[in-house]
Structure 1
Amino acid sequence: MPWYKGKILVEALDSVEPPKRPSDKPLRLPLQDVYKIGGIGTVPVGRVETGILKPGMVVTFAPTGLQTEVKSVEMHHTQLEQAVPGDNVGFNVKNVSVKDVKRGHVASDSKNDPAKGAASFQAQVIVLHHPGQINPGYSPVIDCHTAHISCKFAELEKKLDRRSGKALEDNPKFIKSGDAAIVKMEPSKPMCVESFIEYPPLGRFAVRDMKQTIAVGVIKGVDKKEAAGKVTKSAQKATGKK
């Protein structure tokens, strides 16, 4: 084809750059489960979303603020020197009871932007299907990463045009199916979330009620709160060494 001056298909495929894994970001690892294994101890399990997890690292679990040292990291019964984004791993932690950590908690590097709990967060939501109206005070369940926690629509800040994103109305009295809005949400229990721009896997959520998905949203900002969590002896020793 003399008129075509572009790349041939194979060249075009070869020139596609694979997406970069976000391993340069601080660690975020939402826990899927926690096991107590005889002779080993407490083993949280989850997928590394951002950053790197290594043995010897001191991690902070949000939202409790618990700090401890990672003894070892395993994937499919194989010891790893480090786990990168996309890896589903189990990691053994020192001096931690299985009751201290649970599904929905988030592991992070204590020395590099450690994760914290959210007092509240601002989100942009789209209401997919609700039989009535959503008013301030409505408290459905939010599914965000592995967390499953009731959150209150504390304020309806703005109603938006779904296509352009422009504000249509400030402080609407309610929102309904088909509406997009900026809202302030408050978790009923301690919860760790992040803004979508900084940590996408921890910044998107589904709103569940009446056994269905009512709305979906992305988190624009988080009002974080400090948690004076327990620091284990192993974490103190590891921090002292470095």
Structure 2
Amino acid sequence: MNIAVVGHVDHGKSTIVGRLLADTGTLPDGKLEQVRATCARNAKPFEYAFLIDALKEEQGQGITIDSARVFFKTPRRPYIIIDAPGHLEFLKNMITGAARAEAALLVVDAREGVQENTRRHGRLLPLLGVRHVAVLVNKIDLVDYSRAAFCALEHELREFLGGYGVTIEACIPVSGREGTNLAARAPETPWYAGPTVVEFLDALEEEPAPVEKPFRMPVQGVYKFTAQGDDRRIVAGGVASGRLRVGDEVLFYPSGKRSRVKTLEGFNVDPRAEAGAGEAAGFTLTDQIYVQRGEVACRADEERPSVAARIRVSLFWLGTQPLVRGRQYRLKLGTASVGMELEAVEQLVDASELGERDTADAVQRHEVAECVLRLERPLAVDAEIGIAATGRFVIVDEWEIRGGGIVREALPDPQAAVRERVLVRNAKWEPSGIPFERRVERYAQLPAMVLITGPRDADRKSLARALEARLFEEGRLVYFLGIGNLLYGVDADLERTGVHRHEHLRRLGEVANLMLDAGMLLVVTAAELTPDELDLVGTAVEPGRIHTVWLGGRGPNDLASDLVVDDSDLGGEQVERICRLLEERGVVGR
């Protein structure tokens, strides 16, 4: 069991851990004497914290900089104690240390009382998935073992943390220096009848093993072999939870594609029939479906994750620049990485204060907030079942991690109903017997849609036909899909009015998906496409296969195009620019 020790700087966390190791006989033979001798040679008073603070800078300054991990064992079970730094400047290190803990000991100095990082660390613990929390009122000897001082701190912290749904399961008066109530009950606190620290830890019920939870494996990569007659296509990743066996039916989210496990693969290991949580695994499928990094493999007979492009989250922010609306960030969850925008700050807490603000446009450094995030494409998330790979995320800005948090709820978005249809479609899809890679090899191209849009008076059709002709002359398998082909064909049952535009685009996406599955390059035109309408098409078609070209002057439309071209030389220069875009993205070879 992983236990994090957190709290404000200089409140005695490292001393408690060091004394705990010494009093339980966990230290290697001679270690305590060695540290005492080192202190004597350097004319420094001995401190139990020196057993933990191995960095030279830490011994010099008397603070913990990095998160130290030490092993600790009782007759009940083994532990890993994570001594997390308490200084504000090392908050990121504390988060790193506590993120995998099942329980936390929140240390508070009996003399100084509740301080800034006492509150901040306590507020962050539930965001890090910590399930059990105990408060250690340390240095109780320096207040003459005062019951009144202890009770006042206990009341203050229970009231504060209870407001955020954190239940303090025990509040223990301790002295790290004297060993009070750590491994043995102390006569100096006859008024305290609760457990010692060791008794509290040993009484905790362990979290169900990850292998007992629903199967989740974020796809790390898909590897295709061709040498010496080996034609395996292996889906690989780390199993975050659950177990998978040969013959199990698997679904991939957010795409909803379905197949069955044919073989379980591993590097330089004997064939096996099962893979479980904590293992790196690979498997082949009975059907040649196309999946990619960022999807999550799940078993069809277990609870499915939610698929959402809007999520409600609890997050903490560490960036020097605030998290603001209107700016693009990247959210990483499992192996997926998607663009993200802050849609709303629903509640904001400065964790060093007791107050809350429910009107805010930004999240400042070291603040905690309940927010709604809008993603550029849907992700598979789990909000309630405690799987870190699909429930915890980090936010990246300018190539650095600036914040993180947990998913609280998957929220509806304009394409949610269409997405559910697509999930059913993909689950029922009859895949071709010709593998994706063989089509790519035969046609020397990746399937892609060039979607040309722009003002209604722009000559999109001329540009589309010129592009089709150019690609065809180069030997590409390409087709111009005019909107009229749909309006008077698969859309013949719909009136040509604006009220049906949504359904026209949905059906366009479905027809395009069939042609892309056949390996084609598709050129499509649509007038004044909006961001929501592009999302609609991208719900039926894998978004990475859509390359958007805006033709004509930019107007009020805020569509994020891959390329903007003008209406000059539509048969030459502008076609050349689109072809270069397709080459740069690896759709066609040079």
Q: TM-score range by the shorter chain?
A: 0.7 to 0.9
Give distance in 2, aligned partners of 1:80 and 1:212.
39
Amino acid at match of 1:92: T
Quote how far apart the aligned CAs of 1:160 are: 1.5
**Structure 1 stretches of 5 or more lacking a match?**
1-5, 235-242
**Cα distance change of structure 1 residues 92 and 167 upon mapping to structure 2, 3 Å threshold:** farther
SS in 2 for 1:188: strand
Quote how far apart the aligned CAs of 1:138 are: 2.9
Q: Do the aligned residues in 2 keep the contact of 1:41 with 1:93 (CA within 8 Å)? A: no
**Structure 2 stretches of 5 or more lacking a match?**
1-22, 28-71, 80-205, 432-590
Runs of 4+ in 1 over 6 A off after TM superposition: none
Q: Which residue of 2 aligns with 1:103?
A: 293
Give distance in 1, aligned partners of 2:25 and 2:315.
42
Give distance in 1, aligned partners of 2:352 and 2:240.
30
Bigger-Rg structure (1/2): 2
Q: Which residue of 2 aligns with 1:72?
A: 263
**Cα distance change of structure 1 residues 60 and 87 upon mapping to structure 2, 3 Å threshold:** same
Residue range with higher mean Cα deviation, 181-190 or 219-228 = 219-228
Give distance in 2, aligned partners of 1:31 and 1:124.
25
Identity fraction in percent? 22
Q: Which residue of 1 aligns with 2:317?
A: 127
Q: Which residue of 2 aligns with 1:179?
A: 367
Q: Do the aligned residues in 2 keep the contact of 1:159 with 1:168 (CA within 8 Å)? A: yes
SS in 2 for 1:201: helix
Cα offsets for 1:99-144 (capped at 9, x unmatched):
x21111000011111234223211111110132x333333200111
Q: Do the aligned residues in 1 keep the contact of 2:249 with 2:260 (CA within 8 Å)? A: yes
Give distance in 2, aligned partners of 1:162 and 1:17.
33
- 1:170 paired to 2:170: no
Q: Structure with the greater relative contact order (CA < 8 A, sep ≥ 6): 1 or 2?
A: 1
Quote how far apart the aligned CAs of 1:61 are: 0.1
Quote how far apart the aligned CAs of 1:190 are: 2.5
Residue range with higher mean Cα deviation, 178-187 or 34-43 = 34-43
Q: Which residue of 1 aligns with 2:234?
A: 43
SS in 2 for 1:108: strand
1:210 to 398, 403, 406: 398
Q: Which residue of 2 aligns with 1:219?
A: 407
**Residues 81-96 of structure 1 correspond to what in structure 2 (within 5 A)?**
81-96=273-288
**Cα distance change of structure 1 residues 153 and 54 upon mapping to structure 2, 3 Å threshold:** same
1:151 to 340, 348, 358: 340
More helix by share: 2
Q: Do the aligned residues in 1 keep the contact of 2:312 with 2:372 (CA within 8 Å)? A: yes
Quote how far apart the aligned CAs of 1:71 are: 0.3
CA RMSD for the aligned pairs?
2.6
SS in 2 for 1:123: strand
Residue range with higher mean Cα deviation, 101-110 or 11-20 = 11-20
Residue range with higher mean Cα deviation, 208-217 or 34-43 = 34-43
Quote how far apart the aligned CAs of 1:14 are: 4.4
Q: Which residue of 1 aligns with 2:488?
A: none
1:137 to 326, 329, 354: 326
Q: Which residue of 2 aligns with 1:16?
A: 77
Q: Which residue of 2 aligns with 1:238?
A: none
Q: Do the aligned residues in 1 keep the contact of 2:216 with 2:240 (CA within 8 Å)? A: yes
Give distance in 1, aligned partners of 2:428 and 2:223.
20
Quote how far apart the aligned CAs of 1:70 are: 0.5
| Count of equivalent residues | 225
SS in 2 for 1:53: strand
Give distance in 2, aligned partners of 1:192 and 1:91.
20
Q: Do the aligned residues in 2 keep the contact of 1:65 with 1:116 (CA within 8 Å)? A: no
Give distance in 2, aligned partners of 1:214 and 1:8.
40
2:214 to 26, 41, 56: 26
Q: Do the aligned residues in 1 keep the contact of 2:306 with 2:410 (CA within 8 Å)? A: no
More strand by share: 1
